[in-house]
Amino acid sequence: MPATIVVGTQWGDEGKGKFTDLIAKEMSAVVRYQGGHNAGHTLVVDGESFALQLVPSGVLYDHITPIIGNGVVVDPVVLLAEMDMLASKGVDCSRLKVSGNAHMILPYHQELDRLIERHLGKNKLGTTKRGIGPTYADKASRVGIRLQDLLDPTIFREKLRVAVAEKNLVLAKVYNRLGFDADELADRYLDDVLPRIAPHIADTVSLVHEFLEAGNHVLFEGAQATFLDIDHGTYPYVTSSNPVAGGACVGAGVGPRAIDRVVGIAKAYVTRVGAGPFPTELHDEIGDRICEIGHEFGTNTGRRRRCGWFDIPMMRQAVRLNSLSELAITKLDVLDTFDTVKACVAYDIDGRRVEHLPYHQSDFHAATPVYEEFAGWGTDLSAVTERAGLPAAADAYLAFLEREVGVPISLVGTGPGREQFVHFTA
């Protein structure tokens, strides 16, 4: 019963979708376990680009069952729109299953996400405003509405009335806003959403276990990333779920012993969207060049991503938090034209050299990077597919990262296409 987790090791947008797509051939099911449509996976297949938010990337393979697990927060309207977009490009979504235990993002969650951000002013988190935080908050407060509730219209109406009554009070009294009409909302979801989504709602925990028990390979696909994790990330500048590998167990309903392999995905540099500490961030022309060459703008929101050099102490922490068995490095080709390439090997915190992520957030804010500098390779890597074809300088840079991080680098991405990667370790 082989099971693999793919997890982002930085602040998201590492190119997890491309990796998932790469190993999809061996998989029978691909499971999303947390997050919602705050994620954005871009896949380029046969020159065509697919931007996915909710549907697991395995959908592009006919032999894969794409599964949205219980830990995901689902805006069903967005899900249906994404399925329509895929259908218009000839992709069959009929196999898609979504957990009845997944919580629904409803219009009032999105409205609250926007209002809370505005209320925070200069302290805002820079959320994607998709309603992610308010939906997970309702889940934890036990006033959330799950997809399975839609299947029982009486229950759905009742739960919606209770939830909307409370939300309307908050909207009116805290934010001076008009509220929602629970009955109108219920009619809309029961008439327009339910008939289309019902065939996809399933007991996904049983489904995942059936795949595993039959000896099929299941891939658990993380969204966002390790340092956006609500427990282990740079709180409060995090998302509201657990992207770390352990989140796969909770968000899909499997125990830790079911997992055989955990693949961490890291860019050859680091990016971050939204606010929060970022020790290796570049505020200069080099940062602008990385952003431009790497097309570092949000798939979803179009926001410019902050860019900086590779951060080894962060990666060491990611190895610990996720029990990484290996690392896949993406977008190495973005650094092709740089004269020198840097990697942060430690932080200087008030004159102390620190080689691991500091525990206290104030220390992380105060951390300045200690860099190791490497000669650039000045070669176009886009056609390189074997380690032997890598220029010596690129090989040396990767070998250094591998040694310092402490886990093998299995794959290295050299371009956006499906074929553009190098097997680094045999």
Active site residues: 13, 41
Residue 38 is a binding residue for ligand IMP (CB under 6 A):
yes
32-40, 99-107, 163-171, 195-203 -> range binding ligand IMP (CB under 6 A): 32-40
**Is 101 one of the binding residues for ligand IMP (CB under 6 A)?**
no
On the 0-12 / 13-18 / 19+ scale of CB atoms within 10 A, 123 is: exposed
Q: If binding is defined by CB under 6 A, does position 39 make contact with ligand IMP?
A: yes
The answer to whether 94 and 65 have CB atoms below 8 angstroms apart is no
Tell me the C-alpha distance between 356 and 244, whole Å. 18
CB of 276 to ligand IMP, least distance (A): 6
- Contact between 132 and ligand IMP per CB under 6 A: yes
Q: Can you list the alpha helix ranges (DSSP code H) found in 41-131?
A: 76-88, 107-120
Shortest Cβ 421–ligand IMP spacing (Å): 21
| Residue 330 touches ligand IMP, criterion: CB under 6 A | no
Distance of closest approach, residue 131 Cβ to ligand IMP, in angstroms: 8
Size of the site for ligand IMP (CB under 6 A): 20
| DSSP β-bridge partners for residue 368 | 348
Could you tell me the two tokens for 131?
A: 């309603």
Q: Which is nearer to ligand IMP, 39 or 254 (CB)?
A: 39
> Of 228 and 367, which CB lies nearer to ligand IMP in the complex structure?
228
Q: Verify binding: residue 239, ligand IMP, rule CB under 6 A.
A: yes
CA distance 7 to 21: 14
Cα dihedral sign, 16-285-340-309: negative
**Residue tagged 């809309």 (tokens):** 188
Min separation Cβ 236 and ligand IMP, Å: 9
Residue of 253, 232, 254, 234 lying closest to 243 (CA atoms): 232
CB of 300 to ligand IMP, least distance (A): 7
Angle (deg, nearest 10), helices 312-322 and 392-405: 50
- In the bound state, the residue with its beta carbon closest to ligand IMP is 274
Q: Return the range that interacts with ligand IMP (CB under 6 A); candidates 220-228, 250-258, 343-351, 352-360.
A: 220-228
Length of the chain: 426
Of 6, 10, 13, 347, the one binding ligand IMP by CB under 6 A: 13
The residues in 259-298 that bind ligand IMP, with binding defined as CB under 6 A, are 273-274
What Cα–Cα distance (Å) separates residue 113 from each residue in 110, 123, 231, 235?
5, 14, 20, 17
Q: What is the secondary structure of 356-369 as a DSSP string? A: S--SSHHHHHH-EE
Taking CB under 6 A as the rule, does residue 226 contact ligand IMP? no
* 12 lies in the binding site for ligand IMP (CB under 6 A): yes
The alpha carbon of 163 is separated from its chain's Cα centroid by a whole number of angstroms, namely 28
Residues near ligand IMP (CB under 6 A) are 12-13, 38-40, 125-128, 130, 132-133, 223-224, 228, 237, 239-240, 273-274
